[in-house]
Structure 1
Amino acid sequence: MPKLCKFTSPADGKPVYVNAAQVNVVYTYKGEPPDTIIGFGKDFMLGVKESLEETVSILDKAMAKETTGG
């Protein structure tokens, strides 16, 4: 099973877990404050508290570990 990536819900500060292999897009929604959005397919979007750069780094590390078997 792929390793899940831990992020923080901006609404209540609770942890949310994401399977990096299922992520299609990561972007910043320019609200106040700006939100980082992780998209799965066309119908499911998840907002997280982490910055765009931090989110992409976490997902990249998880995918690298999965492809190298680590």
Structure 2
Amino acid sequence: MPKLCKFTSPADGKPVYVNPAQVSVVYTFKGEPPDTIIGFRKDFMLGVRESLEETVKILDKAMAEESAGD
């Protein structure tokens, strides 16, 4: 199982942890301010404070580390 990735909740600033193997989509919702959304399958979306680029970088790094450990 890949290492969990730590992100920040935009609502209260508390940490949230994500299993990168379960992420199906990452996108920016154009609100004010824009939110980065991590989607798991079709029924669960999680907003995080990190930028889209930073979120993708964190998830990619965790998956690469998992692949290297196989």
TM-score, normalised relative to structure 2 = 0.97
Runs of 4+ in 1 over 4 A off after TM superposition: none
Q: Secondary structure at the match of 1:47?
A: strand
- The amino acid of 2:58's aligned partner reads I
Q: State the match for 1:25 in structure 2.
A: 25
Q: Secondary structure at the match of 2:7?
A: strand
Deviation, structure 1 residue 31: 0.3
Q: State the match for 1:40 in structure 2.
A: 40
Segments of 5+ residues of structure 1 without an aligned counterpart are none
Distance 1:31 1:11 in 2: 14
Matched residue count? 70
Distance 2:59 2:49 in 1: 14
Question: Among the aligned pairs, what percent are the same residue?
Answer: 86
Distance 1:26 1:47 in 2: 10
Deviations 1:24-67 (A, max 9, x none): 00000000000000000000000000000000000000000000
Distance 1:8 1:16 in 2: 6
Q: CA RMSD in A?
A: 1.0
